[in-house]
Amino acid sequence: MISPVDRRTWLVSEAPFNPFKLHHTETIFTVGNGFMGVRGTFEEGYSGDMPTTLVHGIFNHAEGDLVPDIVNLPNPLPVQVRVDGEAFHMTTGKVLGFRRTLDLKRAALTREVLWRTSQGVVVKLTFERFASLTDQHLLLQRVRVRALLGSPRIEIRSSVDAQVTNLGVQHLADVHRQVDAAEILVTARTTHSNYGIAICAAHSLSAESSLEADGESLRYTFNLPHENEVSLTKISAIYTTRQGAQPAELAQKAARAALTKGYEALFAAHCAAWEQYWHTSDVQIEGDELAQRAIRFSTYHVLIAAPRHDERVSIGAKTLSGLGYKGHVFWDTELFMLPLLIVTQPKLARNLLLYRYHNLEGARNKARAYGYEGAMFPWESADTGEETTPQWSHPQPDGTRIRIWTGDHEQHISSDIAYAVLQYWRWTGDDEFFVKYGAEIVLDTAVFWGCRAEYNAAQDRYELSMQIGPDEYHENVNNSAFTNSMVRWHLQQALAARDWLLTHHREAGEALLARLNITEARCAKWADIAAKMYIPRDAETGVLEQFDGFFGLERFDLTHWQPRTVNLDWILGHERAQRTMVIKQADVVMLMALLGDQFGALELQQANWDFYYPLVDHGSSLSPSTHAWVAARLGLLEEAYDLFLYASHIDLDDLKGNVRDGIHAAACGGVWQAVAFGFVGMSLDERGELQIKPKLPAHWRSVTLRAYHRGQLKTVRLTAES
Ligand code: IFM
């Protein structure tokens, strides 16, 4: 039995059914296991629903599309129940009761419906599903039917729907279906990337029945005596050619073996595996159930998206919960989701960093294409590591398309990735990773910056023109304070990493430096750039100027522009937004979050906060959590708490109105950072020692979290007193 507190803090429920929130709930009720993500669509379907089954790494660039898309695989969910010939659906007969519950602790989704047919028969239908954490290829479903009034004849029909697209774009070809002996096998391949896909669904029913198969589906028919219950187990195994040359055989074998083990045994193993993950990743907050449930919800969505057994894939900005951003990977992963994993699941963090390592070639190609040496990571990335940012937007209301410059000029991502590598190394002390992989990322991206920085001889300083900082309302600016500062920091770190390699791993270090052509002269230039990098600022106040000319832009009072679910640049128009002092998301404040005390004294941080906070639109979901983190550090606890609640309810309450496209994964990771780095005040000092400077909201009685520090799991427990 689940305790009332657990019920309120581990369960996310919908009751009654709200068809107007169909797409929102589909997203938030996604189940996953780091291999697959399956949106919370109904087994029997619903008008306008968006059944989506995504697997990491399966992308396809369809004819006529600007960029590759993550591929929506055949839908393994369909199960249709008929009661005395009447098909159950949320819009037919009479729904007498409905509750859908995502159990965050067990990563399982349950829907219970009391349904009366038009003939007056009443049944209770229970639909359960989970994506197994112990066997990542398995999606398990159970459908239970109990006769409450009457003794109906029941028909349960199961299929795998291969008529799926990505919002109309067809990515699948050569679709074959085979249905026999309680098994459905669907195979297909992607039209251009040529990935093979196989889904095998194996079934068993808990009662005697007749079983028929047509070319499409399996059909079980039986009589259900009053007060009896029958359950169908459907286990779908999903394989692709990324796992083996014969995915159909692999899927069949896995589905059959799983059926032999049985739903209960597999669920028990799955729950035990989740217990392990929660043991380290759960943050316990006493005195605030709202915050407690929200941080569990956010953590759940990062954990179900993090690949466990594949180091060549990474988490897209919308995880595997929706088609937004076409499944592409941004800096969201390294700077927002990764910290939670670095600190609580370092193996998963390592995996994600290896994705960048394996894709260094794509980053080198990009640098070369722009005339630079070294590695320049793509702003958006998919399976190959090549740049996948579209160059043009969808048509605007007037039919025109806007040029998207982020793929060309949002170059700070290379330093963000280096930052993440260095954070991973500092927290874990994983020298082996650093020597073999991490150093190459940090150094080759430094090679890129060494070529990219522009020397201004007249001022004897280095500059960076044509940049996009985190605030994407202002494009192609010169001397973004964020980018220039991160590059300066990055080059300093690269020099330190080089020295460390030569001191501690001379042979490997020399080989790497030779391979990357990192000469003494190159290092001297890095040192010069770091020393003379221009960071625009107001000499009197110390406030950084977000970029050259920012202080001269039109002032804009944001106070009257609430409530609002659309971004201000959408209202003002692209051009006007560029001319105003309204910013999309934490930019200078992001720098304060990342560099902490290295940014400057607290008074200086406060002055920058005071200047920039009133200007932020939070047009990006990445923004509130970063502000919450910094506000907490500055002791602005009311603002920090409000911003934390905002960040942590972006998905739960669909605060941006676009959760249908998928979870805002960066916001989810950011929520953890706001608590761990903001309220709890956890950080590493210059020697890499763990330090805690708490600033807890007054009503939090205690916070407990766990952190791996250099391989040791530590428990941090803070109460109002100690
Ligand atoms: O990476 C972000 C960016 O910072 C703001 N626009 C959305 C992207 C994906 O989440």
- CB of 471 within 6 A of ligand 1: the answer is no
pLDDT tens digits, one per residue of 594-606: 999 899 999 999 9
| Nearest CA owner, ligand 1 atom 5 | 620
From 620, 621, 650, 661, give the residue whose CB has the most ligand 1 atoms within 8 Å, as the site to mutate: 620
Question: What secondary structure does DSSP assign to 606-622, as a single string?
Answer: HHHHHHHGGGB---STT
Taking residues 87-103, report their average pLDDT.
Answer: 98
d(CA 208, CA 382): 47
Note the pLDDT of residue 399: 83
Point out the ligand 1 atom lying closest to the alpha carbon of residue 470.
4
- CB of 473 within 6 A of ligand 1: the answer is no
d(CA 306, CA 338): 9
Point out the ligand 1 atom lying closest to the alpha carbon of residue 330.
1
Lowest pLDDT segment from 29-43, 463-477, 547-561:
547-561
Taking residues 640-650, report their average pLDDT.
Answer: 98
For residue 101, pLDDT beyond 80: yes
d(CA 651, CA 8): 17
d(CA 367, CA 68): 20
Point out the ligand 1 atom lying closest to the alpha carbon of residue 584.
5
The structure tokens listed for 675 are 């608590």
Note the pLDDT of residue 77: 98
* Summary mean pLDDT of the chain: 97
pLDDT tens digits, one per residue of 8-20: 999 999 999 999 9
d(CA 508, CA 497): 13
Q: Which residues are CB-contacts of 643 (< 8 A; sequence separation ≥ 6)?
A: 624, 625, 627, 628, 631, 674
269 in the Ramachandran plot: left (φ > 0), alpha (ψ -120 to 50) or beta? alpha
d(CA 28, CA 212): 35
Domains of the chain: 4-163+202-237 (2.70.98.40)
Q: 74 near 160, Cβ under 8 Å?
A: yes
- Global confidence as pTM: 0.98
d(CA 517, CA 375): 13
- CB of 69 within 6 A of ligand 1: the answer is no
332 C-alpha to ligand 1 centroid (Å): 7
| Nearest CA owner, ligand 1 atom 9 | 317
For residue 393, pLDDT beyond 80: yes
From 301, 622, 626, give the residue whose CB has the most ligand 1 atoms within 8 Å, as the site to mutate: 622
Alpha-carbon distances, residue 673 vs 644, 647, 669, 679, 705 (angstroms): 10, 11, 7, 9, 12
For residue 564, pLDDT beyond 90: no
Point out the ligand 1 atom lying closest to the alpha carbon of residue 331.
1
- CB of 666 within 6 A of ligand 1: the answer is yes
- CB of 42 within 6 A of ligand 1: the answer is no
State the DSSP code for 335: I
233 C-alpha to ligand 1 centroid (Å): 40
For the annotated catalytic residues, the residue numbers are 472
663 C-alpha to ligand 1 centroid (Å): 13
- CB of 332 within 6 A of ligand 1: the answer is yes
Q: Are strands 712-719 and 454-456 parallel, antiparallel or unpaired?
A: unpaired
| Nearest CA owner, ligand 1 atom 10 | 317
Point out the ligand 1 atom lying closest to the alpha carbon of residue 622.
4
Q: Which residues are CB-contacts of 147 (< 8 A; sequence separation ≥ 6)?
A: 121, 122, 123, 224, 225, 226, 227, 228, 229
Helix (H) or strand (E) holding 495: helix 481-504
d(CA 515, CA 510): 8
Note the pLDDT of residue 562: 85
Q: 640 near 675, Cβ under 8 Å?
A: no
Note the pLDDT of residue 187: 98
290 C-alpha to ligand 1 centroid (Å): 26
Note the pLDDT of residue 398: 80
Point out the ligand 1 atom lying closest to the alpha carbon of residue 318.
10
Lowest pLDDT segment from 200-204, 390-394, 417-421:
390-394
| Spatial CA neighbour of 410 closest among 587, 576, 535, 554 | 587
For residue 397, pLDDT beyond 80: no
Q: 387 near 366, Cβ under 8 Å?
A: yes
Taking residues 446-460, report their average pLDDT.
Answer: 98
- CB of 317 within 6 A of ligand 1: the answer is yes
pLDDT tens digits, one per residue of 117-144: 999 999 999 999 999 999 999 999 999 9
For residue 673, pLDDT beyond 90: yes
- CB of 333 within 6 A of ligand 1: the answer is no
pLDDT tens digits, one per residue of 252-309: 999 999 999 999 999 999 999 999 999 999 999 999 999 999 999 999 999 999 999 9
From 321, 328, 332, 583, give the residue whose CB has the most ligand 1 atoms within 8 Å, as the site to mutate: 332
Point out the ligand 1 atom lying closest to the alpha carbon of residue 664.
10
623 C-alpha to ligand 1 centroid (Å): 10
HSE (side-chain half, CA atoms, 13 Å) at 460: 1
pLDDT tens digits, one per residue of 304-334: 999 999 999 999 999 999 999 999 999 999 9
Amino acid occupying residue 445: T
For residue 172, pLDDT beyond 90: yes
pLDDT tens digits, one per residue of 188-198: 999 999 999 99
- CB of 472 within 6 A of ligand 1: the answer is yes
- CB of 620 within 6 A of ligand 1: the answer is yes
The structure tokens listed for 434 are 């650093």
- CB of 622 within 6 A of ligand 1: the answer is yes
From 472, 482, 568, give the residue whose CB has the most ligand 1 atoms within 8 Å, as the site to mutate: 472
Note the pLDDT of residue 283: 98
